[in-house]
Amino acid sequence: MESRLPKANFQFKVPARTATAAPSSINAIKANLTASTSDAKASTVKTVETSKNMSATSSASKTDENKAPMTRTNTLTTQSKVNGIARGAVKRTGANVNNVIEPKRANLKTTMKPTGIRPVRPATTIGALRSATASGAVKSTSAATKNLRVANAASTATTSKTTGAKPSKWDLKGRLEYTNNELTALKQKHKDVTSQFNDIQEEIISLRESESTNRLKAETLEKTYSKINDEIKSLKSKIDELTKERDRLSEELKESKELYEETAKSLEEFKNDVETKATLIKNQTNEIAQLKEELEEHKKSSTKEINELTAKNNDLSDLVMDLDKDRRALHNAIQELKGNIRVFCRIRPKIPKEASKNLCTINYLDECTLEISKAEDAYSNKVKQRNEFSFDRVFPPNSTQEDVFKELSMLVQSALEGYNVCVFAYGQTGSGKTYTMEGFPGTETEGMIPRTVKHIFKEMKHFEMLGWEYKIEASFLEIYNEQIVDLLDYQRKSHDIRMADSKGTDLYVTNLLVQEINSPEELNQCLLMAQENRAMAATQSNERSSRSHSVARIRLIGTHSGKQEVCIGNLNLVDLAGSERLKNEEAARIAETKNINKSLANLGHVILALLQKQDHIPYRNSKLTHLLMPSLGGNSKTLMLLNISPLDEAFNESLNSLRFGFNVNNCKTGTVKKVKTTM
């Protein structure tokens, strides 16, 4: 869009000379006037020739007018430079001074040449004005200029009138009068010119004012122009943006149209589909309603059957409960028949590192009896000492962990049913106690403790079906040198054995960490921690594991909300210290050996006292028997697992162990009673 406004670099200036030009003109006029007056005065005293000279000058001037314009123009130019009058006159040649003063001025020198401006005589102001007016350089409508012309004309006329015909040379009086008249006329002329001069000055002031107003206007216009220019620029960029946006929107519209068409199409398809499905649903609703009616009828007939079945179910539940009771009673009876203190004997196999060592001679007479003799006896002619021992079960070296646990699981079942159970692993160092109780991770090699926990969790599900909920707690401790050590706590604390109730049927250990077990994995973690703690202690005391009793205590708390019954079974799995006899001098030196011997011997005494049904059972003579008191008394089932090394070098210790186990097996603790409490 092309602006109609003038270009931004347009400058509206009035040169400083313009302002000074007028006064120069005025000065020139004044000078001329003075000159004229002087001339006039002089002419009163001068001869007529002077007048003639003046006329001559005038005519010369007129004659000059007829000369070539080029010459006159040059003269004008020269005159203008010298005298401001011409310049001032030229300045006002424009029709509109306000607007075109400067351009006209700038062109003055060059444009005047071809227009044939007559030279303005500096001495004759009126002539200069006339000359300027006649040349067309001053086209101003200025009233002052016009007036000046008229005044000059009038003045000239008046002068002519007043002066009249020139008197003769000799008529001095007449000449004086003539000169006086001429002077009067010139005075009048001076007055008129002065008046004209004032008018011109006023006009100049007014022009100056309008010039400054116009300048302000021009500045304002300039600002407005630049503002509008900026606006135009910003509008242009907006138009560009809008054009782009319009194009983008057009594109989007096109895409939307396509999408709309596609959606409309799929909507139509969906509509048809919905209509089909609605019909289908309607049909199905009718069918459902029909089925509901049928069902309602069926329900009515079934309710009777359901009630009958519910009654039968209740009867069956009662029957199951009764059967469970009977099963438990039978199970317990079987256990009692098997004996409340049972002894199993396990002979471990020869391990690779013992390849060069001799083995004892062990004959397995049946699954409960074995016969043992030293290897050398088989080759000598000595009369063999009969070393035959019978136990509840004998496990030869090829027996697996699973074989042993099959028998043990019956006792775990008893613990779940609320009996206290104690399992001892007894035997000399290296006979396989730890292997039997803990074993190694893996289905084949894991020992009695992890298997017991797995069995408990498996059986718990069956018990849950009968309404029992179980909570399992576990603690691991060690009795070393007649001191209890918590194997689940890295901090060493002092522990005591206290009675849990006034009857003394249950005991607990002070400061002992008891961990709630929610999965077999959790118990395995506890077992690992206990092994780690035991190993740490072993670094302080050589062969520590062989010289301490390790006890894993698992407490099973069963709750039957329907029967309002709670049954608590305690399971103690004990890995006893090595039962070997140390040499006398060595034993005398080592306090721990004394304690081991003491506790193992006391275990024998307790069992014997139980066997003989003595009134006093010396449970408190050692920490071990004191701790295991509830599991050794009447209300318990005890399993002694005798571990025997097959090595010939261990024969004597094996014989001792077999004798000890045999004695225990013969101990009768009477009928045990189940721990039953009411909630």
Contact footprint for ligand ATP (CB under 6 A): 348-349, 351, 427, 429-435, 545-546, 578, 643
| Residue 320 CB contacts under 8 Å (≥ 6 apart), including other chains | 466
To ligand ATP, the closest distance from the beta carbon of 643 in angstroms equals 6
Torsion angles phi and psi, residue 611, rounded to 5: -60, -40
The answer to whether 475 and 553 are in contact (CB under 8 A) is yes
Burial track 393-421 (b if 16+ CB lie within 10 A, e otherwise)? bbbbeebebeebbebbbbbbbbbbbbbbb
Give the C-alpha separation, 94 to 86, whole Å.
14
Secondary structure letter of residue 650 according to DSSP: G
Residue type at 69 in one-letter notation: P
The answer to whether 338 and 392 are in contact (CB under 8 A) is yes
Q: Which is nearer to ligand ATP, 556 or 596 (CB)?
A: 596
**Cα-based angle 502, 508, 509 (whole degrees, multiple of 5):** 135
Q: Which is nearer to ligand ATP, 427 or 633 (CB)?
A: 427
Flag whether 668 is marked binding: no
Handedness of CA 186, 192, 198, 204 (dihedral sign): negative
204: its two tokens: 């100049």
Flag whether 50 is marked binding: no
Q: Which is nearer to ligand ATP, 433 or 495 (CB)?
A: 433
To ligand ATP, the closest distance from the beta carbon of 678 in angstroms equals 42
Give the C-alpha separation, 310 to 258, whole Å.
66
Q: Which is nearer to ligand ATP, 169 or 406 (CB)?
A: 406
Flag whether 427 is marked binding: yes
Q: Which is nearer to ligand ATP, 64 or 649 (CB)?
A: 649
The answer to whether 517 and 472 are in contact (CB under 8 A) is yes
Flag whether 431 is marked binding: yes
Residue located via tokens 């123009």: 73
271: its two tokens: 């509509």
Residue type at 252 in one-letter notation: E
Q: Which is nearer to ligand ATP, 94 or 578 (CB)?
A: 578
625: its two tokens: 């028997």
| Residue 301 CB contacts under 8 Å (≥ 6 apart), including other chains | none
Torsion angles phi and psi, residue 15, rounded to 5: -60, 150
To ligand ATP, the closest distance from the beta carbon of 355 in angstroms equals 13
What is the rounded end-to-end Cα distance, in angstroms, of the chain? 102
Q: Which is nearer to ligand ATP, 135 or 643 (CB)?
A: 643
Flag whether 428 is marked binding: yes
Closest CB to ligand ATP belongs to which residue? 432
Q: Which is nearer to ligand ATP, 570 or 657 (CB)?
A: 657
Flag whether 3 is marked binding: no
Give the C-alpha separation, 300 to 295, whole Å.
8
The answer to whether 466 and 679 are in contact (CB under 8 A) is no
Q: Which helix H or strand E contains 276, and what residues bound it?
A: helix 172-338
To ligand ATP, the closest distance from the beta carbon of 431 in angstroms equals 4
To ligand ATP, the closest distance from the beta carbon of 626 in angstroms equals 22
Torsion angles phi and psi, residue 558, rounded to 5: -100, 135
Q: Which is nearer to ligand ATP, 184 or 429 (CB)?
A: 429
571: its two tokens: 């399971």
Residue located via tokens 């005044």: 151
Give the C-alpha separation, 13 to 561, whole Å.
114
To ligand ATP, the closest distance from the beta carbon of 480 in angstroms equals 13
Q: Which is nearer to ligand ATP, 192 or 575 (CB)?
A: 575
182: its two tokens: 């001429």
Q: Which is nearer to ligand ATP, 593 or 643 (CB)?
A: 643
Instruction: Return binding residues.
Output: 427-434
Annotated binding site for ATP: 427-434
